[in-house]
Copies of this chain bind each other. A is one copy, B any other.
Amino acid sequence: MQKPSIKDVAEHAGVSTATVSHVINNTRYVSESTTKKVREAIKALGYIPSAAARGLASKQSRIIGVVFSDISNPFFTSVYKGIEFELSKAGYELTLANTGEQDEIQEVVLNTMLSREVDGIIVAPTGKASEAIDQIIQMDIPMVMLDRRGPYNHTPLVSLNNVQAAYEATSHLIADGHKKIGIVVGLADVDTTKYRMEGYCKALEEYKIACVEEYICDGNSRIEGGYRAVENLFQLPDPPTALFITNNLMTLGALHAIRDLGLKCPEDIGIIGFDDHDWADIFSPPLTVIRQPTFRMGSRAAGKLIELLGGKQEQDTDTADEEIFSGELIVRGSCSTQCHNNYFNNYENLDRVKGGIADIS
Contacts and interface: CB of A to CB of B under 8 A. Distances in A.
Interface of A: 3, 46, 48-53, 55-56, 61, 71-72, 74, 77-78, 80-81, 84, 93-96, 98, 111-112, 114-117, 135, 139, 223, 252, 255-256, 259, 277-279, 281-284
A52 B56 contact: yes
As for how many copies of this chain the complex holds, the number is 2
Contact of A115 (B50, B77, B81): B50
Given A56-B53, A72-B77, A139-B3, A48 B111 contact: yes
Nearest to A3: B139
Contact of A52 (B52, B94, B111, B223): B52
A252 B279 CA distance: 7
Contact of A112 (B93, B281, B284): B93
Nearest to A279: B279
27 contacts: A46-B135, A48-B111, A48-B114, A48-B115, A50-B115, A51-B115, A51-B116, A52-B55, A52-B116, A53-B56, A56-B56, A84-B98, A93-B95, A93-B112, A93-B116, A94-B95, A94-B96, A95-B95, A252-B279, A252-B282, A255-B282, A259-B281, A277-B279, A279-B279, A279-B283, A283-B284, A284-B284
B61 A52 contact: yes
A283 to B, nearest CB: 7
A95 B64 CA distance: 11
B50 A56 contact: yes
B117 A52 contact: yes
Nearest to A60: B52
A321 B142 CA distance: 45
